[in-house]
Amino acid sequence: MASQSDESETSAVGLSGQDLWDEVRIEPVEIALPGGVGLTLRAFRKSSELTPTEMDVEEEDPFDARERRAAEDDEEEVIVDEEFQALLAEGEVDQAVDEDAKAAADEPDPEDFEDEKEEDAAADEDVPMFLSHKGRLLAFKTPESLVSFIRSGAPHDLAQLDSWATLAEQVQSTDIDPQADDRYELDLVVENLRGGHDSWDLPLLITAGEVARDLGYALRLKPVILALSPGSPLDDLDESLRSTENGGMSGFFGRRRLKKIGAQQASLGWRSVIGKISAAVDWRD
């Protein structure tokens, strides 16, 4: 049985390494960009638990646009209902039709409930958030500088997490060691694409797409979100890369689709995406 002094000593030391990151549900990330290699932090939480990053210059971003469209849809429903009531008052709508419409409106449709559940689940899915402030990613050249910032109490978006205080209290520079899956080489993407289909590095390009989507969402970078949105050329490239990586018949068809994607078009598209991300980085060293 551990003594009281042993327990207090363990509590003082706290967690370290991967145990610490697992406890706080935050992860160190390394992102290589044309301007350098930066260390930062990323977390995934339910969208309902997070307040999106503030923007210095409020352009039309996809989050506000989505809320505005929902409000417009609600307003349109109200207007239609008012027009219907006006026609009723003027006697232009048969009373029997009105009663049928009311009966149908009062009777709930099970499919509507299912659709609402699916929409609610999609709206409250896990979303990424980075160590950022006012739409800019905070990146550090060394573990020591990152830890110094974490302990500084300076404002940033991850401060809203309930586990942030634990991380700030216990993290050490030796803990800043991103896992292999959390290291991204965006600086190599354009050059790799220019080399042609036979030289494309599938894991490099696939992981680049993953972190670019995360950054686009978390930093509210509308051009990045649109460039990688479903149905876009870069999204088609991503799907083909993943199919090829999976192998088998899926890989066969994936390779065929890749051959139809122009290397120059892909490299230009990715160059624009990486340029937008690079412009949103705040180097703190």
| pLDDT at residue 271, as a whole number | 96
Please compute the mean of the pLDDT values over residues 146-168 and round it to a whole number: 96
pLDDT for residue 97 is more than 70: no
The chain-wide mean pLDDT, for the chain, equals 81
| pLDDT at residue 246, as a whole number | 76
Q: How many CB atoms lie within 10 A of CB 275?
A: 15
pLDDT for residue 260 is more than 60: yes
Q: Half-sphere exposure of residue 46, counting CA atoms within 13 Å on the CB side?
A: 8
Domain boundary assignment for the chain: 19-56+126-283, 62-123
| pLDDT at residue 251, as a whole number | 59
DSSP assignment string, the chain: ---HHHHHHHHHH---HHHHHHHHT-EEEEEEETTEEEEEEEEEEEGGG-PPPP-SS----HHHHHHHHHHHHHHHHHHHHHHHHHHHHTT-S-HHHHHHHHHHHHS--HHHHHHHHHHHHHHTSEEEEESEETTEEEEBSSHHHHHHHHHHT---GGGGSTTHHHHHHH--GGG----GGGEEEGGGHHHHHHT-GGG--HHHHHHHHHHHHHHHHHHT-HHHHHHTSTTSHHHHHHHHHHHHHH-HHHHHHHHHHHHTS-HHHHHHHHHHHHHHHHHTEEE--
pLDDT for residue 253 is more than 70: no
| pLDDT at residue 50, as a whole number | 87
pLDDT band with cut points at 50, 70 and 90 for residue 89: low
Q: What is the pTM of this model?
A: 0.72
pLDDT band with cut points at 50, 70 and 90 for residue 1: very low
Tens digits of per-residue pLDDT, 219-248?
999 999 999 999 999 999 999 898 887 776
| pLDDT at residue 73, as a whole number | 58
Of residues 119 and 23, more confidently modeled: 23
| pLDDT at residue 176, as a whole number | 97
pLDDT for residue 4 is more than 50: no
pLDDT band with cut points at 50, 70 and 90 for residue 88: low
| pLDDT at residue 245, as a whole number | 75
Tens digits of per-residue pLDDT, 174-194?
999 999 999 999 999 999 999
pLDDT for residue 151 is more than 70: yes
269, 234 contact by CB (below 8 A): yes
What Rg do the C-alpha atoms of the chain give, in angstroms? Answer: 25
| pLDDT at residue 250, as a whole number | 59
Tens digits of per-residue pLDDT, 18-69?
999 999 999 999 999 999 999 999 999 999 988 988 876 545 544 455 555 5
pLDDT band with cut points at 50, 70 and 90 for residue 105: low
pLDDT band with cut points at 50, 70 and 90 for residue 115: low
| pLDDT at residue 14, as a whole number | 74
| pLDDT at residue 91, as a whole number | 56
